[in-house]
Amino acid sequence: MNKDNEISELLDVYYKSWFKINDSYRVWAKKHNIQDTTLFTLYVINQSSSCCTQNKIRDKLSLPKQTVSLILSELEKKRYISRIVNPKDRRNKIVRFTKEGSQYANSILEKLKLSESEAFKNISEKQKKNMIENFRMLSDLLDKSLSK
């Protein structure tokens, strides 16, 4: 087998794996009565220790502005978040959890973390390190190659 065919086959396996991981998150989220995009939005807000904005969510998740806006509107209707004008940049609003929202997000994200931890427990320490190192390397190399 020549090098081009070998790389092509590896890329096929890579895509299948990536799509399967994405689908696993989608199915998990659906079982918990939430969309995967909403799940990841909760994650980004939760991880943003100081200041979270719609733009930060959009950039982090590579979602369209309108999609993020709709997700935030739904979370706001449920009183899980509040949006206040950013005093440093009045064009952007700061997104924060309400007390109820924080409890909701923590309960969902904790369940997710338990499921992810269960999967990771089945991987040796060496495999985990290698996987993370390889993901970092691949993301850096793809960023470099795709930005040409």
Q: Are strands 89-97 and 81-86 parallel, antiparallel or unpaired?
A: antiparallel
Q: Are residues 24 and 81 in the same domain?
A: no
Q: Are residues 85 and 44 in the same domain?
A: yes
Q: Are residues 41 and 70 in the same domain?
A: yes
pLDDT band for 143, please (50, 70, 90 cuts). very high
Q: Are residues 7 and 66 in the same domain?
A: no
φ/ψ region of 11 (left if φ > 0, alpha if ψ in -120 to 50, else beta) reads alpha
DSSP letters along 29-60, please?
A: HHHTTS-HHHHHHHHHHHH-SS--BHHHHHHH
**Domain boundaries, position 25:** 1-31
Q: Are residues 40 and 13 in the same domain?
A: no
Q: What is the DSSP letter of 87?
A: T
Q: Is the per-residue pLDDT at 92 higher than 90? A: no
Q: Which of 39-43, 89-93, 139-143 has the lowest mean pLDDT?
A: 89-93
Q: Are residues 15 and 59 in the same domain?
A: no
pLDDT of residue 99: 96
CA–CA gap between residue 11 and residue 104 (Å, rounded): 38
CA–CA gap between residue 115 and residue 32 (Å, rounded): 12
Only one residue has tokens 């440093």, namely: 88
The structural domain count of the chain equals: 2
CA–CA gap between residue 134 and residue 73 (Å, rounded): 37
pLDDT of residue 74: 97
pTM of the model: 0.88
